[in-house]
Amino acid sequence: MVDQVKICEGISDISDSYGGFLIDQWGTLHNGTHVFDNVIATLENLKKRGKQIILISNSGKRADDNEARLKKLGIDKKLFDHVVTSAETTWRSLSERNQAQFQNLGEKYFLMNRLDDLSLTNDLDDLAMTDDIQEADFILLTGSDVPRKTMENYYEPLLKEASRRHMRMICANPEKTITIDNQDYTGSGEIARRYEECGGVVTYIGKPFPSIFQYALTLFHDLYPSQVCVIGDSLANDIRGAKYLDMDCALIANGVHKGSFAKVQNRSDIHKMLKVLGKNYGVEPTYFIPKFHWGRELPDRKNRRKNEK
């Protein structure tokens, strides 16, 4: 962990220190239905300064689908250079088969998806999907269909059978929970964890695991990892993933951990809460930023110099 997280008042405080930014989507830029205030202006400011921007997500849909969704939300393609998703990274890994964990998988897969989504499987010409777990060589998990399909009646029997047959699982979305109408349900990451409990072997693609970050880094033009900063709202996914690759990272406080910072009064309180969360998650960010915006907004601004000491 770092000895002291640098507290920033906005993205402007770190904009000149990096040539590229790897930015989380959900919880940082938008909530799935609307873009947060000042996000568009902040992205515009970064692009005006010539910064390379890649948006990263644990989405079970590929990059083109995500770009279309971002456009509907108001985040135009001119505001970023690339979109990287766990589904896109998985699709490329399955297509290329040049990584050890994707070799010797076999040719037939059993698909576990959400709402019958087949977007990840398009153009996987060398692979065939089967609806019979007995015929499959491996499981491709792209999303959780809970509550439509339950753990007890649908997933558990399949996981036990797959484990008995020593099938590898490829998990293309490591999120452990999904939120539908403000209700949390079992996510695909939790289904994968249950499979490990059954004795199964899982390859995770997505944050915080290195492969998605490594793929994203190949898309930056003439930048080393030390010249890129990861920005996200989750210590478990964004910050931990950055630290796996020894990259600088900024925690946006009004996302996943909003409740933890709701009552902070000054910078001393922020540092104390970061230490508490750091112990819980085993990782601390390089920077703390209240929200993804360009300007100045911190509690107790009048006394900020005093509290920095």
pLDDT class of 1 with cuts at 50, 70, 90: very low
Q: Which CATH architecture has domain 6-58+208-308?
A: 3-Layer(aba) Sandwich (3.40)
Give pLDDT, residue 10: 97
pLDDT for residue 3: 60
Taking every pair of Cα atoms in the chain, the longest distance, rounded to a whole number of angstroms, is 67
* 290: Cα separation from own chain's centroid: 19
* Burial profile 34-55: b = 16 or more Cβ within 10 angstroms, e = fewer: ebbebbbebbebbeeeebbbbb
**Residue 299: pLDDT band by 50, 70, 90 thresholds?**
low
What's the chain's average pLDDT?
Answer: 93
At 303 the pLDDT is 46
Asked whether the CA dihedral 180, 181, 182, 185 is positive or negative, the reply is: negative
Give the pLDDT band (50/70/90) at residue 9: very high
Which residue in 239, 227, 241, 254 sits closest to 286, CA to CA?
A: 239
- Judged against a pLDDT cut of 50, whether residue 142 lies above it is answered with yes
**What residues does CATH 3.40.50.1000 cover in the chain?**
6-58+208-308, 105-204
For 192-249, what is each residue's pLDDT tens digit?
999 999 999 999 999 999 999 999 999 999 999 999 999 999 999 999 999 999 999 9
Topology, domain 105-204: Rossmann fold (3.40.50)
Inform me whether the pLDDT recorded for 188 exceeds 90: yes
Give the C-alpha separation, 117 to 46, whole Å: 34
Query: What do you get for the CA distance between the two ends of the chain, in Å?
Result: 20
pLDDT of residue 125: 87
- Over residues 12-25, mean pLDDT: 97
What CA–CA distance (Å, rounded) separates 309 from 307?
Answer: 5
Give tens-digit pLDDT for 58-89.
998 899 999 999 999 999 999 999 999 999 99
pLDDT more than 90, % of the chain: 85
C-alpha dihedral (153, 118, 255, 3), degrees to nearest 10: 100
Mean pLDDT across 283-291 = 97
Residue 170: pLDDT over 50: yes
Under 8 Å CB-to-CB from 219, ≥6 apart: which residues?
54, 81, 82, 84
Angle at 216 between CA 25 and CA 146, to 5 degrees: 50
pLDDT of residue 99: 86
Per-residue pLDDT at 300: 52
Predicted local confidence at residue 252, as pLDDT = 98
